Amino acid sequence: MKNWAEIDLNRVPEIIVEPPGPKSVEYHRRASRYMKGYSSQVRLFPVAFEKGQGITLTDVDGNTYLDFSSGIYVTSLGHCHPKVSEAVAKYARTLMNCHDFTTPIKTSLLEKLVSVLPEGLNGVQLYDSGTTAVEAGLRAMRAVTGNFEFISFYRDFHGKTMAAASCAGVDKTQGMRAPGFFLVPRAYCYRCAFRLSYPECELHCVDFLELAINNLTTGRLAGIVLEPIQGWAGSIVPPDGWLQKIRQVCAQHRMLLMADEVLTCMGRTGKMLAMEHWNTVPDIVTLGKSFGNGFPVTAMVIAEQYKDALEKISASTSYGGNPMACAAALASLEVIEEENLCEHAAALGEYMLSLLKEMQTRHPLIGEVRGKGCLLGIELVKDRKTKEPDEQAGQMVYQKAFKKGLAWVPAGHILRLSPPIIMSKQAAAKGLSIVEEAIWETEKELGYLS
């Protein structure tokens, strides 16, 4: 961690007024008169933030929090990294937008981006949201293959517009997913849909995928869409071999593989792409969140042999690739390389996971801990044998830790940890000590320790 982001861990977190404090409550009351549809993390803890610096956040009441959320996987380089902030400010003063015309900063970003991706991924379009990038990837898959059906996986999340949402679970408020989109179970070994055990199962879930292709679809498959590691669902890491076998299925059926790495890219898991952990290269990859360290910039990148398809899908956007966005993304990539942050994130993740595994031995409430790099999860259960989820405990632990000064992310009975990848081991350990304190208190209140 560089000097600009160093903190005094004796003073962080620092809670002056019990949060959410009176100013937070008032700001949220005023805003919520008009804004509806808040995320679960806001509904459970409606604090109003005023500023961020490095690995800390400060609310309007003056409380300072240790950040274990990175703005939901976004500010991986810490809040207001000076190099990124200065890059954005420069273009805010000189050239904010010129549609999809070429600019020097866009050219530099494209060259840098392709240089850090696996060889052959070099057809790029830039966007301003992860959902838009996913939608573009789906259109590109149709254009390349001439087909229109897609397979994705239970509990994946790909966005909130029609096609992207159809790649994930939908509820009764949204109605049916779009025609031609099919979901199948994925490798979630802690809760295997087939009640099998890895590795004895020999990845039966992939064998089932073959059945789904033959029995659900009409055979007009454009491809498979997946998250390499599930984020929203609770930092679920697939077992070794799963992604490689999915890649083989795509080859056998002459369809494309799209990896949605909006959440997992740019060092979050200890690699530029999470797919690199399994030495697997997709035909299309989507990038976002950490790509611009908070500035809205995303990308859809396609393999060289297919990139001419981008000429067919009307890929340009009003905001994608604007000079400020390109400056933020380029600066972020340079920081990751200059500060060796992929390596740091990998080492930090191993350290945090080791502490979590020790924590698991002390707490009957913890069913499983998991993750790669700075993408980690804690699954809370009522009973380790039945694995019954404990959502009440999840909410309680989340709220208790937040009150103690840890800003982080809930997912029902699963607690998600995504600290900035610049965080030190000492700061990470302090954050985990807050988590454990909240778990102790929750177990006591719910009778787990009686």
Task: Specify the amino acid at residue 413.
Answer: H
Q: Which structure tokens are listed for 411?
A: 């997912």
pLDDT at 413: 95
Residues of the chain with pLDDT under 50: 1
pLDDT at 167: 87
Asked if 57 and 79 touch (Cβ cutoff 8 Å), the reply is yes
The domain spans of the chain are 82-338
Residue 155 CA: distances (Å) to CA of 48, 191, 352, 373, 404? 30, 12, 25, 21, 31
Which residues have CB under 8 Å from 152's CB, separation 6+? 158, 167, 168, 181, 182, 183, 184, 224, 225, 226
Exposure string over 168-203, b if 16+ CB within 10 A, otherwise e: beeeeeeeebeebbbbbbbbbbeeeeeeeebeebeb
CA 180 to CA 216: how far, in whole Å?
9
| Nearest alpha-carbon partner for 330 in 372, 291, 284 | 291
pLDDT at 169: 79
Q: Which structure tokens are listed for 347?
A: 């080492």
H/E stretch holding 162 reads: helix 162-166
DSSP string of 200-219? TT-SHHHHHHHHHHHHTS-S
CA 427 to CA 443: how far, in whole Å?
25
- List, for residues 90-136, the tens digit of each pLDDT value: 999 999 999 989 999 999 999 999 999 999 999 999 999 999 999 99
Residue 374 CA: distances (Å) to CA of 53, 193, 250, 271? 19, 27, 29, 11
pLDDT at 172: 72
pLDDT at 374: 97
H/E stretch holding 116 reads: helix 104-116
Measured in whole angstroms, the distance separating CA 303 from the mean position of its chain's CA atoms is 23
Return left, alpha or beta for 255; rule: phi > 0 is left, psi -120 to 50 is alpha, else beta: beta
Asked if 390 and 383 touch (Cβ cutoff 8 Å), the reply is no
DSSP string of 56-77? EEEETTS-EEEESSHHHHT-TT
Which of 1.10.3720.10, 3.40.50.2000, 3.40.640.10, 1.10.275.10 would CATH assign to domain 82-338?
Answer: 3.40.640.10
pLDDT at 314: 81
pLDDT at 136: 96
- List, for residues 311-355, the tens digit of each pLDDT value: 988 878 999 999 999 999 999 999 999 999 999 999 999 999 999
pLDDT at 165: 87
CA 154 to CA 333: how far, in whole Å?
32
| Nearest alpha-carbon partner for 287 in 438, 404, 116, 410 | 116
CA 359 to CA 354: how far, in whole Å?
9
